[in-house]
Amino acid sequence: MHPDAWWELRVIGVEDGGFSRESLGCGFLKALLVCVLLRGTYFEDFRADMITVDGLDASEKLIAMLRKLSFDVVMLAGVSFAGFNLVDPTLVFEKFYKPIIVISRTKPNNIAVKNALFLHFEDWQVRWNIFRKLGPIREVYSIPGEPPIYVEVIGATFDWATKLIRALPSCCRIPEPLRVARLIARGLTLKAQQS
């Protein structure tokens, strides 16, 4: 693939806005889930919706938002949003047949995750199954001299995903779609909490 071709891909970054115990003044604890669509580093569109903290509605809400966007790739900032509200990357891939790249800033500790799910959720096996379906966790050095990011890929090869990741960072090791999604999600959450 020609280097400029990576910048033509329409990439969605998915991040949440975090939450507090007073989260946005709702009866149930909610958090913002944001999809940002970029072509290269050019912002094209975004969608946002509320998901339940520790609920099981993140996959459904994400799929509904993605149906309104035209895209080539989805990058998820992990699979856990709003606590342990999990996006199932395999399910998202099966709905759209577009590559899903799960990116973590720190190396995931799946043993600790499984223990936490077991201790805190009656449906822990349903949630754990989402993690079990993921491929191997691999390191990618997106920018020389920076720490690695940790990547799982569905619907594409690891080599292809690595080339895309390395083509997209602009000012930090995190690919630009995820960096922008994080900024928007955190900014909108802060604004909602202040009003």
Domain boundaries, the chain: 3-194
Residue 48 Cα distances to 5, 166, 181, angstroms:
28, 27, 10
Tell me the average confidence (pLDDT) per consecutive run of 10 residues in the chain, 195 residues long.
76 87 58 93 92 94 97 96 95 97 93 92 94 92 91 96 88 90 84 61
In CATH terms, the fold of domain 3-194 is archaeoglobus fulgidus dsm 4304 fold (3.30.2170)
Task: Tell me the one-letter amino acid at 137.
Answer: I
| 21: CB partners within 8 A, 6+ apart | 29
